[in-house]
Homo-oligomer: A and B are copies of this chain.
Amino acid sequence: MNNFQYYNPTKVVFGEGEFGSLGAEVKALGDTALLIKQEGPLEEMGVYAEAVRSMEEAGIRVHVLEYITSNPKLSKIREGIAIAKEKKINVIVSVGGGSAIDAGKAIAIGAPCKDDVWDFFRREKMVTEALPMVAVSTISATGAETSCHVVVTNDEEADAAKWQKWALHDAHAFPDTAIIDPRLLASVPKRLTAAGMADTISHVIEGYFDGVPDNPVSDRIGEGIVMTVIENERVLDHPDDLKARAALSWAATLAMSGLQDCGRSNAGFPAHWIQHAVGALTDSSHGEGLAVINPAWLEFVNQKHPEKFVQFAERVFGLERTAGMSDVEYGQAGIDALKAVFGRWGLPSALGELGVTEGMIPDIIQGVLDSPETYVFEEEMLERVLRRCM
């Protein structure tokens, strides 16, 4: 267990019907809101009309930024920052998935300062302030609603192959309030739900297999989150099972809140950084990419450090260990069990299914190596992992 600092000041308002408290929660922070909308079905479902009504009933002036796409783009965020400055916005309200929430965070950080917001992602400037923010999560996946992470794709280059999907990690990015209402989640389609479940599991296991021993509390919490996700997979056939939606959404939130990373190496999220490079080039779903990349990555780690994989196979999957099975073999059985879970959820098992071609591999590797993240990649291992994913 390493020394650590843990800090997460986001207030969580959780449960069926809590979306109705949006106006009151926003009012506690400001009176002129920028509502960040996400592309997709939420508008048609009336979610945004309900958000506006709730805020206006609370006496809030509401301005709108339409429609954030997945892998939110810098150009759109600059548009939001311009609106925030012009309209004297004093509270940001994102209603959507990780894309809308991350766009909201970037706007909250960019609005109060004269610097260009991308400077913070390039580590050229330090964040010193941000507008207050309420995040309403409409999909269980990224945990963005209580995290200090922001991921943005810089789309300045005309050639999309040169786009950079980079992350910023800063305490100013914590939303002040997160509203999680299982009723909003019931309409998430099966494929996206499964991708979100894989994303949640990835957020645990990218840190869990860090090689740092003696971290029993974080281990138990991480294992509990993974088990909860798997034990609630019935949601894929019963999308309106609100008990399962509630369990999955709280699991997703805590997976990325920093809690179960306490005492870990925090070397970085290697599979995530690879996925970011893939996502920048293919605009493919984050969780689907992770479902392919993460097991492939873990197979390499297990070869060298199987101890934790043994614990994972035993505690999470309760796998029987036959006589003579080595640690590596038993650890691999746990990874295989995880791949089987992803398979029965209908997730892809190869990057080709997400539009990645062999020819893209050098660009993906370059994209990973260009990223300003701290994780130290070996180029050769990167290539081997990517080829295993094809």
In the bound complex, CA of A104 to CA of B3 (Å): 25
Q: Is A246 engaged at the interface, CB distance under 8 Å to the other chain?
A: yes
A195-230 residues with Cβ-Cβ distance < 8 A to B are: 214, 216-217, 219-221, 223-225, 227-228
**By the criterion CB–CB under 8 Å, are A5 and B12 in contact?**
yes
**By the criterion CB–CB under 8 Å, are A216 and B11 in contact?**
no
**By the criterion CB–CB under 8 Å, are A12 and B7 in contact?**
yes
- Interface range on chain A: under 10, 10 to 19, 20 to 34, or 35 or more? 35 or more
In the bound complex, CA of A250 to CA of B223 (Å): 17
Q: Is A4 engaged at the interface, CB distance under 8 Å to the other chain?
A: yes
Q: Which chain B positions have C-beta within 8 A of A224? A: 216-217, 219-221, 223-224
Q: Name the CB-closest residue of B to A247.
A: B216
Partner of A17, one of B3, B216, B227: B3
Q: Is A231 engaged at the interface, CB distance under 8 Å to the other chain?
A: yes
Taking A3-B15, A246-B214 as contacts, is the C-beta distance between A227 and B232 under 8 angstroms? no
**By the criterion CB–CB under 8 Å, are B220 and A14 in contact?**
no
Give how many copies assemble into the complex: 2
Q: Name the CB-closest residue of B to A227.
A: B220
Q: Name the CB-closest residue of B to A215.
A: B247
Q: Which chain B positions have C-beta within 8 A of A357? A: none
Taking A224-B220, A262-B14 as contacts, is the C-beta distance between A247 and B214 under 8 angstroms? yes
Q: Is A13 engaged at the interface, CB distance under 8 Å to the other chain?
A: yes
In the bound complex, CA of A246 to CA of B232 (Å): 32
Q: Which chain B positions have C-beta within 8 A of A370? A: none
Taking A217-B225, A220-B221, A224-B217 as contacts, is the C-beta distance between A243 and B14 under 8 angstroms? no
Q: Name the CB-closest residue of B to A17.
A: B3
Nearest chain B CB to A22's CB is how many angstroms away?
Answer: 14
Known pairs A1-B15, A220-B224; list 6 more (Cβ under 8 Å). A1-B247, A3-B14, A7-B9, A14-B263, A220-B223, A259-B259
Can you list 20 contacts pairing A with B, beta carbon distance less than 8 Å? A2-B15, A3-B17, A4-B14, A4-B15, A5-B11, A6-B14, A7-B9, A7-B10, A7-B12, A8-B8, A8-B9, A14-B262, A214-B246, A217-B228, A217-B247, A217-B250, A220-B220, A220-B225, A221-B221, A224-B224
Closest A-B pairs by Cβ, 8 of them: A3-B15, A220-B224, A9-B9, A7-B11, A6-B12, A216-B228, A214-B243, A217-B250
